[in-house]
């Protein structure tokens, strides 16, 4: 480490690394320099002048948010001059501020309120009439109230730099300066709501949340987004059994404050009118509501018959249910139903990746690696659309560390704009495109390769061989679709591999095999909708479905159980990079049960001994028996993410790569669940398209 | 949007003089020249300049809103700009502006009914040494008095 710089702040001798901004050096020493426009991770703006401090031997007050520390600097952050200047700045900011705090969404969480409370003058000398501009709606989720804006430019910067969307700008100047959207009177953008979240005041507000509650009336439940595989922590604001907001303002979790439109707004399915709230049994061709005991008894009776006559079962698990649920489900299938016919919708070839990486350690990238490694290669994925948080990490890496980005995709992607090289290829020929980048990549100090579902089987082995040939450290991320796609694989929802990728003695049927098997006797689908894509060949199969909604699959069922969603349960999920995190229930929907409980009750009904079906107990078993999952519990308990130890062994998986197919969700779709997210569908950009590279 | 061959040639040159990847630098001069030909900065012009410079229209709007010499409404044939900033103010700039309003019968940023003149109160134009100063289109007039102003307006009227 280079020499530390010595300086004095408010009489306290402190040290800081060269180049540290005064505002941060003071913060490290526990001294607050108030700021509006300064924002960690974004470019410097120096627009608000709230951070002015006195530096000895300089004639004027200095801007603390742009001033790097210097040896021997003597700073006063609380002198009478500084205090007077802060009062003045706040008085100016308030000259045209509407002071409608009692009805403003931000009231209670507003930085302007807090600053005025702490540093402000109690009165204003301005008697001039305030300039009023009517509120504007820019999209179903973004509203703008110009008079409240303090022109800190945070929204503009987070949209340009953080999101790479460039949807916001500033028009006019002086008192007339105003934030403006890219389509004159509305937005055409990612609808991520990052601008709303970052706004220190109530100028940008959210269509989903506005005027619903006062912030202090909510409970805040930190859980994991149920949509894509990136595993963002979303803090759900709950008021009276209803989720009214999603954000991550406290920057906890792997994603800091990042959330895409899905993590921020797509919680509304929880209260959708179509939620199933009672078990149903098919009677005279129609699904009729029945009691839990009746439904459980019927399933147990049928299954027992089928087991006794040696009939054929098919079990299809979910990519959104918890590790505990998946583990318990496969245990049930294998031990109680005696079948290895268990599978799920696979979106990435993790088994082949693990096999190809045999003998290596540290070759699986974490979400943090995407921010820290020197170079990133994006293959066969429209990352900003399909994997929003990973794309955010890559953008931040470019801004903060000057990382080199390479893309090899069939169409233009947002990452091209910061890429040092982009190659286009025919779909399916991505691997050749990657190989054409060899010379450039060899010159990089290290590399992370993120790749979509086109890279599987032999192509994946070729990719790893190519990585080996570069002679530099290479890490990989096999992109996946949903919040627990990775956990479904790790927990052994596979016909040939059990938990921890242990091969089973007699591999069962794949999902495609089960659906095509005309003599299948029973199909059990937990939180998946395979019949939306493929018909069920067996006309007489007894179909049991656990789901939130009456999906195409549930409509074909003989018995339907109403399941709780991820936002209504405890347990753990594993993200695309193998990071385990814990869910926390935010609400409870009357009449539903978690999948773990439903499976547990079925086990009980059948008299099977599968152990206690409480998430903590099942997770203990997972920690003890599933390779890589012996993670530290305190990390999870405190809302952190624990990295599962990468498999360092040979994984033998027979099923062909044709089974692996991503659903190719855009920013505005989320499989069958997306249909029930009104907010997602309300935005103009929905459903969005891939390879737009907007 | 199409422009005169001269303007097209000018644009072409402008886009070449800035280093590769910095074509957005041409936004201001392109808007200035195009405004003279088109009459004002129209929506269509904003979009055209954005397209040619490889930025989005909002970024051009930011520039248009910021610079007072870019106008989104048509001006008079002779655009009279009177400085009332400090140096000019001290030697009668403000009175000159009031006089101009009376003579032309229009207020700030307004156009006379015949479309011949428009008036604008402007900030320092860098002609302080010869204050009070005015500018008509691109021409400067120094040490202007109300009488000189009236004479100038008469002359310009005749000119057309
Ligand atoms: S919602 Fe997201 S993409 Fe849209 S303007 Fe705000 S920050 Fe930009
Ligand atoms: S809208 Fe909010 S974030 Fe954007 S400039 Fe105004 S105060 Fe800052
Ligand atoms: S990036 Fe994925 S995990 Fe993160 S908020 Fe969006 S959908 Fe949820
Ligand atoms: S925080 Fe320093 S100028 Fe705004
Ligand atoms: S003050 Fe009028 S030209 Fe400078």
Q: Confirm whether A318 is domain-assigned.
A: yes
Chain B contacts of A174, Cβ < 8 Å? none
- Which has the closest alpha carbon to A606: A307, A315, A300? A300
A645 and A530 assigned to the same domain: yes
pLDDT over threshold 70, residue A258:
yes
Residue B39 lies in a domain: yes
- On whether residue A11 sits in a domain, the answer given is yes
Its domain, for residue A14, covers 5-93
Look at residue A18 in the predicted model and tell me its pLDDT.
96
| Residue B72 located in a structural domain | no
Which of A93, A120, A138 terminates a domain? The answer is A93
What's B58's domain CATH number?
A: 1.10.10.1590
Whether B90 is in a domain gets the answer yes
| Test site for ligand 5: of B68, B81, B82, B83, most ligand atoms within 8 A of the Cβ | B83
Same domain, B60 and B83: no
Looking from the CA of residue A34, the nearest atom of ligand 4 is 1
Write out the H or E segment, with its range, that includes residue A423: strand A419-424
- Does any domain span residue A440? yes
Phi, psi of B141 (to 5 degrees): -130, 130
User: Distances in Å between the alpha carbon of A409 and those of A319, A435, A455, A465, A690?
Assistant: 26, 13, 11, 19, 11
Minimal-distance CA residue of chain A relative to B61:
A171
User: Which residue, among A653, A689, A599, A672, has the nearest Cα to A227 in the 3D structure?
Assistant: A672
A contact set with B (CB within 8 A): 166-173, 177, 180-182
Distance from CA of A412 to the nearest CA of B (A): 16
Please give the distance of CA B115 from its chain centroid, rounded to a whole number. 15
pLDDT over 70 at A430, yes or no: yes
What pLDDT sits at residue A174?
Answer: 84
Tell me the pLDDT tens digit for each residue of A96-109.
899 899 999 999 99
| C-alpha span between A208 and A224 (Å, rounded) | 19
**Mean pLDDT of the region A526-537:** 97
- CATH code, A375: 3.40.228.10
Element (H, E) at A289: strand A286-289
Whole-angstrom distance, CA of residue A209 vs CA of residue A478: 35
Least confident of A122-136, A382-396, A513-527: A122-136
Of B15, B45, B66, the residue that ends a domain is B66
Of A166, A168, A173, nearest to B65 by CB-CB distance is A173
* Percent of all residues in chain B with a pLDDT value above 90, rounded to a whole number: 95
Question: DSSP characters for A216-230?
Answer: GG-EEEEEE-SSBTT
Look at ligand 3, atom 6, and give the residue with the nearest C-alpha.
A260
Cβ-based neighbours of A327, under 8 Å, separated by 6 or more: A491, A492, A499, A618, A621, A622, A626
- Rounded to a whole number of angstroms, the distance from the CA of B61 to the nearest CA of chain A is 6
CA distance B8 to chain A (A): 27
Q: Which of the listed residues A22, A26, A33, A63 should we mutate to test ligand 4's pocket, taking the one with most ligand atoms within 8 A of CB?
A: A63
Using a CB-CB distance cutoff of 8 angstroms, which residues of chain A are in contact with residue B65?
170-173, 177
* SS3 readout for A20-37: CEHHHHHHHCCCCCCCCC
Q: Is the pLDDT of residue A1 over 80?
A: no
What is the pLDDT at residue A124? 83
**Are both A494 and A626 inside the same structural domain?**
yes
Q: Is A463 in the pocket of ligand 4 (CB under 6 A)?
A: no
Q: Do A169 and B61 lie within an 8 Å CB cutoff?
A: yes
Tell me how many domains chain A contains: 4
Q: Is A618 exposed, middle or buried (0-12, 13-18, 19+ CB in 10 A)?
A: buried
Query: Does residue A63's CB lie within 6 angstroms of at least one atom of ligand 4?
Result: yes
Same structural domain for residues B139 and B113? yes
Q: For residues A427, A431, A432 and A433, what is the CA-based torsion angle, rounded to 10 degrees? A: 70
Do residues A78 and A122 both lie within one domain? no
- Token pair 């390779």 is found at A627
Asked if B98 and B123 sit in the same domain, the reply is yes
Size of interface A-B (CB pairs under 8 A): 29
Question: 3-class DSSP state for residue A68?
Answer: strand
Q: Do both B57 and B94 map to the same domain?
A: no
For chain B, how are helix, strand and coil distributed in percent, rounded to 5? 50, 10, 35
Together in a domain, A72 and A159: no
Q: Are residues B87 and B62 in the same domain?
A: no
User: If DSSP codes are grouped into helix, strand and coil, which group holds residue B85?
Assistant: coil
H-type alpha helices, A584-631: 595-605, 615-625
Task: Note whether residue A259 is domain-resident.
Answer: no
B89 lies in the same domain as B134: yes
Mutation probe of ligand 3 site: the residue of A232, A385, A567 with most atoms within 8 A of C-beta: A232
Rounded alpha-carbon distances, angstroms, from residue A311 to A8, A308, A519, A542, B36 = 79, 8, 9, 11, 85
Q: Hey, are the CB atoms on A171 and B59 less than 8 Å from each other?
A: no
From A166, A173, A180, residue closest to B61, measured CB to CB: A180
As for how many domains chain B has, the answer is 2
**Domain shared by A533 and A650, yes or no:** yes
Residue B71, in any domain of the structure: no
- Tens of pLDDT along A491-518? 999 999 999 999 999 999 999 999 999 9
A35 CB near ligand 4 (under 6 Å): yes
For residue B73, being part of any structural domain is answered with no
Is pLDDT of A694 > 50? no
Report B:37-96 residues touching A (Cβ under 8 A).
Answer: 56-59, 61-62, 64-66
For residues B86 and B142, state if they share a domain: yes
Distance A34 CA to ligand 2 centre (A): 17
Q: What is the pLDDT of residues A2-38, one digit of tens each?
A: 689 999 999 999 999 999 999 999 999 999 999 999 9
Q: Using a 6 Å cutoff on CB, does residue A226 contact ligand 3? A: no
Closest CA to B34 of B6, B58, B67, B61: B6
Q: Of A245, A389, A577, which is best to mutate to test ligand 3, by the most ligand atoms within 8 angstroms of its C-beta?
A: A389
Q: In the prediction, which pLDDT does A130 show?
A: 87
- The CATH number of residue B91's host domain is 3.40.30.10
A265 within domain boundaries: no
Distance from residue A226's CA to the centre of ligand 2 (Å): 30
Name the percent of chain A in helix, strand, coil, to the closest 5: 30, 20, 50
Q: What is the ipTM of this complex?
A: 0.81
Distance of CA B118 to the CA centre of its chain: 10
Give the span between the Cα atoms of B20 and A559, in whole angstroms: 65
- Whichever domain contains A76, its CATH number is 3.10.20.740
Tell me the average pLDDT of chain B.
95
Residue B133 domain-assigned (yes or no): yes
In the block, tokens 């919708």 appear at: A345
Q: Which chain A residue has the Cα nearest residue B67?
A: A172
Q: Say yes or no: B83 and B152 in one domain.
A: yes
Q: Given this model, what pLDDT does residue A693 score?
A: 41
Ligand nearest to the backbone CA of A154: 2
Q: How distant, in Å, are the alpha carbons of A283, A537, A602 from that of A302?
A: 15, 20, 12
**A62 with A156, same domain?**
no
- Both A577 and A450 in a single domain? no
Chain A residues close to B62, C-beta within 8 Å:
169-171, 180
The pLDDT confidence band at residue A127, using thresholds 50, 70 and 90, is confident
Q: How far is residue A627's CA from residue A359's CA, in Å, rounded to a whole number? A: 15
Cα(A192) to centroid(ligand 1), Å:
5
* Element spanning A46, H or E: none
Of A167, A171, A173, the CB nearest to B61: A171
Retrieve residue A21's tokens.
Answer: 């901004």
Domain range for B32: 5-66
- pLDDT, tens digit, 9 for 90 and up, residues A619-628: 999 999 999 9
**Coil, strand or helix: which one is A583?**
strand
Residue A261 predicted with pLDDT over 80 = yes
Q: Is A312 in the pocket of ligand 3 (CB under 6 A)?
A: no
Give yes or no for a cis peptide into A672 (omega within 30° of 0): no
Looking at the fold, whether B16 and B55 belong to one and the same domain comes out as yes
Contact A168 B66 (CB under 8 A): no
Chosen domain end from B15, B32, B66: B66
- For an interface test with B, the pick among A151, A153, A165, A171 (most B C-beta atoms closer than 10 Å) comes out as A171
Q: Is position A247 within any domain? A: no
CATH at A623: 3.40.50.740
For residues A637 and A493, state if they share a domain.
yes
B138 lies in the same domain as B91:
yes
**Residue B50 forms part of a structural domain:** yes
| Domain co-membership, A494 together with A470 | no
Question: A169 contacts in B (CB within 8 Å)?
Answer: 58-59, 61-62
- A560 neighbors A548 (Cβ within 8 angstroms): no
Task: Read off φ and ψ for residue A577, nearest 5 degrees.
Answer: -95, 10
Does the CB atom of residue A192 touch ligand 3 within 6 A? no
Alpha carbon separation from A204 to A103, A138, A188, B7 (Å, rounded): 14, 10, 16, 41
Q: Is B4 exposed, middle or buried, given 0-12, 13-18 or 19+ CB atoms closer than 10 A?
A: exposed
A112 and A85: one domain?
Answer: no
Is A169 in contact with B66 (Cβ distance < 8 A)?
Answer: no
In a domain, A241, yes or no: no
Asked whether residue A267 is assigned to any structural domain, the reply reads no
Contacts of A94 (CB under 8 A, 6+ apart): A112, A116, A120, A124
> In which element (H, E) is residue A465 found?
helix A458-469
pLDDT recorded at residue A647: 67
Which pLDDT tens digit goes with each residue over A555-606? 999 999 999 999 999 999 999 999 999 999 999 999 999 999 999 999 999 9
Residue B15 lies in a domain: yes
Q: Give the domain-ending residue among B42, B66, B90.
A: B66
Same domain, A359 and A465: yes
Q: Are A527 and A547 in contact (CB under 8 A)?
A: yes
DSSP H or E segment with residue A559: strand A559-562
Nearest CA in chain A to B62: A171
Provide residues with CB under 6 Å of ligand 2: A 149-155, 179, 198-201, 203-204
Which of B65, B66, B70, B71 is the best residue to mutate to test the A interface, defined by the most A CB atoms within 10 Å of its own CB? B65
Label residue A394 by pLDDT band (50, 70, 90).
Answer: very high
Distance from the Cα of residue A71 to its chain's centroid: 42
Chain centroid to CA A484: how far?
11
| Mean pLDDT (whole number) for B127-143 | 96
Nearest atom within ligand 5 for CA of residue B88: 2
Ligand nearest to the CA of B143: 5
Give the model's pLDDT for residue B27: 97
The predicted model gives A455-464 an average pLDDT of 95
Q: Verify that B60 and B95 share a domain, yes or no.
A: no
Q: Per DSSP, what are the bridge partners of residue A239?
A: A242
Q: Write out the DSSP string of A224-278.
A: E-SSBTT--EEEEEEETTEEEEEE-TT--STTTT---HHHHHTTGGGG-TT---S
Mean pLDDT of B4-33: 95
- Long-range contacts formed by A594-598: CB under 8 A, 24+ apart: A594/A325, A594/A563, A594/A564, A594/A568, A594/A569, A595/A318, A595/A321, A595/A322, A595/A325, A595/A329, A595/A526, A595/A527, A595/A546, A595/A563, A595/A564, A596/A322, A596/A324, A596/A325, A596/A328, A596/A569, A596/A571, A598/A546, A598/A561, A598/A563
Q: Give the minimum alpha-carbon distance from B123 to chain A in angstroms, rounded to a whole number.
A: 14
Residues of B in contact with A182 (CB under 8 A): 56-58
| Other beta carbons less than 10 A from residue A211's beta carbon | 8
Task: Supply B34's token pair.
Answer: 């195009």
Which of A167, A171, A181 lies closest to B62 in CB terms? Answer: A171
Pair (A445, A537) in one structural domain: no
Asked whether the bond before A687 is cis by omega within 30 degrees of 0, the reply is: yes
Clarify whether residues B54 and B119 are in a common domain. Answer: no
Name the DSSP letter for residue A427: T
* Cross-strand bridge partners of residue A206: A142
B107 touching A (Cβ < 8 Å): no
Averaged pLDDT of chain A: 95
Of A186, A256, A200, A261, nearest to A45 (Cα)? A200
Q: Are A537 and A516 in contact (CB under 8 A)?
A: yes
Output the domain CATH number for residue A116.
3.30.70.20
């Amino acid at each position: 480490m280079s020499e530390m710089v010595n300086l004095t702040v408010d009489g306290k001798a402190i040290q800081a690394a060269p180049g540290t901004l005064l505002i941060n050096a003071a913060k490290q020493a526990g001294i607050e320099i108030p700021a509006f426009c300064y924002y960690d991770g974004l470019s410097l703006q120096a627009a608000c002048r709230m951070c002015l401090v006195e530096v000895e031997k300089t004639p004027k007050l200095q801007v603390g948010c742009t001033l790097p520390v210097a040896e021997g600097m003597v700073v006063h952050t609380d002198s009478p001059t500084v205090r007077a200047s802060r009062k003045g700045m706040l008085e100016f900011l308030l000259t045209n501020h509407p002071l409608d705090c009692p009805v403003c969404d931000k009231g209670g969480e507003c930085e302007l309120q807090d600053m005025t409370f702490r540093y402000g003058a109690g009165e204003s000398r301005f008697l001039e009439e305030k300039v009023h501009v009517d509120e504007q709606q820019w999209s179903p989720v973004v509203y703008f109230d110009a008079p409240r804006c303090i022109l800190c430019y945070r929204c503009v910067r987070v949209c340009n730099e953080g999101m790479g969307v460039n949807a916001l700008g500033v028009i006019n100047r002086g008192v007339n300066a105003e934030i403006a959207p890219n389509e004159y009177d509305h937005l055409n953008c990612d609808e991520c709501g990052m601008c709303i979240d970052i706004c220190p005041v109530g100028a940008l507000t959210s269509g989903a949340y506005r005027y619903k509650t006062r912030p202090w009336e909510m409970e805040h439940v930190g859980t994991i987004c149920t949509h894509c595989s990136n595993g963002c922590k979303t803090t759900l604001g709950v008021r009276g059994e209803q989720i009214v907001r999603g954000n991550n303002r406290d920057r906890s979790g792997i994603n800091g404050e990042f959330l895409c439109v899905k993590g921020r707004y797509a919680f509304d399915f929880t209260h959708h009118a179509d939620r199933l709230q009672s078990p149903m049994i098919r009677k005279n061709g129609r699904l009729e509501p029945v009691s839990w005991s009746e439904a459980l008894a019927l399933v147990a009776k049928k299954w027992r018959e089928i087991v006794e006559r040696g009939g054929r079962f098919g079990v299809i698990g979910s990519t959104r249910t918890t590790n505990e649920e998946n583990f318990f489900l496969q245990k049930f299938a294998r031990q109680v139903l005696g079948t290895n016919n268990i599978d799920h919708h696979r979106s990435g070839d993790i088994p082949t990746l693990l096999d190809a990486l045999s003998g290596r350690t540290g070759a699986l990238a974490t979400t943090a690696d995407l921010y820290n490694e020197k170079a990133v290669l994006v293959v066969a994925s429209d990352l900003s659309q399909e994997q929003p948080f990973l794309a955010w990490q890559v953008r931040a890496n470019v801004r903060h560390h000057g990382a080199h980005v390479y893309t090899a995709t069939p169409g233009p992607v947002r990452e091209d704009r910061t890429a040092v090289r982009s190659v286009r290829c025919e779909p399916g020929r991505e691997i050749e495109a990657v190989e054409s980048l060899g010379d450039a990549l060899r010159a990089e100090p290290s590399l992370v390769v993120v790749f979509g579902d086109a890279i599987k089987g032999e192509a994946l082995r070729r990719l790893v061989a190519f990585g080996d040939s570069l002679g530099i450290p290479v890490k990989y991320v096999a992109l996946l679709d949903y919040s627990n796609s990775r956990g479904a694989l790790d927990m052994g929802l596979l016909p040939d591999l059990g938990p921890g990728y242990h091969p089973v003695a007699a591999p069962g049927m794949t999902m495609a095999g089960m659906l095509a098997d005309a003599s299948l006797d029973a199909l059990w689908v937990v939180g998946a909708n395979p019949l939306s894509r493929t018909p069920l060949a067996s006309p007489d199969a007894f179909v049991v479905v656990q789901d939130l909604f009456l999906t195409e699959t549930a409509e074909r069922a003989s018995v339907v159980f109403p399941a709780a969603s991820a936002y209504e349960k405890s347990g753990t999920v594993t993200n695309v990079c193998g990071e385990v995190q814990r869910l926390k229930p935010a609400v409870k929907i009357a009449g539903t049960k978690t999948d773990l409980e439903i499976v547990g009750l079925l086990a009980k009904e059948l008299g099977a001994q599968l152990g206690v079906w409480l998430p903590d107990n099942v997770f203990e078993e997972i920690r003890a028996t599933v390779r890589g999952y012996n993670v530290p519990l305190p990390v999870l308990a405190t809302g952190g993410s624990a990295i599962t130890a990468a498999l360092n062994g040979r994984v033998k998986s027979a099923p062909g790569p044709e089974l692996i197919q991503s659903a190719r969700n855009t920013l505005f779709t989320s499989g069958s669940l997306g249909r029930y997210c009104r907010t997602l569908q309300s935005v103009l950009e929905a459903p969005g398209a891939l390879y737009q590279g907007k | 949007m199409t422009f005169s061959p001269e303007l097209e040639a000018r644009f072409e040159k402008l886009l070449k003089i800035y280093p590769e990847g910095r074509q957005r630098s041409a936004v201001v001069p392109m808007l200035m020249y195009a405004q003279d030909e088109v009459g004002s900065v129209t929506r269509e012009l904003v979009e055209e300049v954005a397209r040619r410079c490889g930025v989005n229209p909002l970024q051009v709007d930011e520039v248009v809103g910021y610079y007072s010499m870019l106008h989104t409404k048509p001006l008079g044939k002779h655009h009279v700009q009177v400085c009332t900033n400090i140096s000019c103010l001290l030697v009668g700039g403000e009175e000159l502006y009031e006089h101009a309003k009376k003579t032309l019968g229009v207020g700030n940023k307004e156009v006379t009914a015949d479309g011949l003149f428009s008036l604008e109160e402007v900030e320092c134009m860098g002609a302080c040494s010869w204050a009070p100063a005015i500018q008509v289109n691109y021409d400067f007039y120094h040490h202007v008095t109300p009488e000189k102003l009236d004479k100038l307006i008469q002359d310009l009227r005749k000119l057309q």
